[in-house]
């Protein structure tokens, strides 16, 4: 068997290195596509859960005689909020209009100048500085908001 010239051996090594690089690149691309598919599936599952929560909130609003349910979408997050007829009369019947707010997260959540923990915080609507702060609290998917005349938390 004749020995290959040195130039052929170098060319073979370069070709093998290029083939290995291309194979590794293809493997990395396949892994990235699998991860993207996993993330898309997780997002679809989260979206379905959020939509189910929004549907549940709308059904609860209809069942308790609420004026309407507000379902807000911010980016890819959906939050549902009950707006009840009772809230309009709360000042006369139950004292000043208020809401209970608590964080879903162990770390807590800051919104509209308030720091919320897992323990319910009573917020009197008269202490908010305009409808923007109320909307910020109501539309935050990381906060749990209930009417003050409901049980706290």
How far from the centroid of its chain's Cα atoms is residue 71's Cα?
14
Q: Residue 108 belongs to what domain range? A: 87-147
pTM of the model: 0.38
Question: In terms of domains, do 2 and 30 share one?
Answer: yes
The residue-averaged pLDDT of 108-124 equals: 89
Rounded Cα gap, residues 67 and 90, in angstroms: 14
Confidence at 85, pLDDT banded by 50, 70, 90: very low
Question: In terms of domains, do 40 and 107 share one?
Answer: no
- Please, are residues 21 and 13 in contact by the beta-carbon 8 Å criterion? no
Residue 82 lies in a domain: no
Question: In terms of domains, do 42 and 99 share one?
Answer: no
Residue 79 lies in a domain: no
Higher pLDDT, 146 or 80: 146
74, 100, 118 — which closes off a domain? Answer: 74
Residues in Cβ contact with 87 at an 8 Å cutoff, skipping those fewer than 6 apart: 97, 147
Residue 32 lies in a domain: yes
Higher pLDDT, 63 or 65: 63
């Amino acid at each position: 068997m004749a020995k290959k010239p040195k130039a052929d051996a170098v060319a073979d090594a370069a070709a093998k290195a290029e083939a290995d690089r291309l194979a590794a690149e293809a493997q990395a691309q396949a892994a990235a596509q699998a991860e993207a598919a996993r993330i898309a599936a997780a997002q679809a599952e989260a979206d379905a859960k959020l939509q189910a929560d929004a549907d549940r909130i709308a059904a609860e609003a209809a069942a308790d005689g609420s004026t309407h349910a507000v379902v807000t979408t911010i980016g890819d997050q959906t939050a549902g909020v009950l707006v009840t007829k009772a809230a309009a009369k709360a000042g006369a019947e139950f004292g000043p209009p208020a809401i209970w707010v608590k964080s879903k997260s162990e770390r807590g959540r800051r919104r509209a100048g308030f720091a919320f923990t897992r323990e319910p915080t009573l917020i009197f609507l008269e202490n908010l500085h305009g409808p923007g702060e109320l909307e910020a609290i109501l539309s935050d998917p990381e906060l749990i908001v209930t009417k003050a005349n409901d049980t706290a938390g």
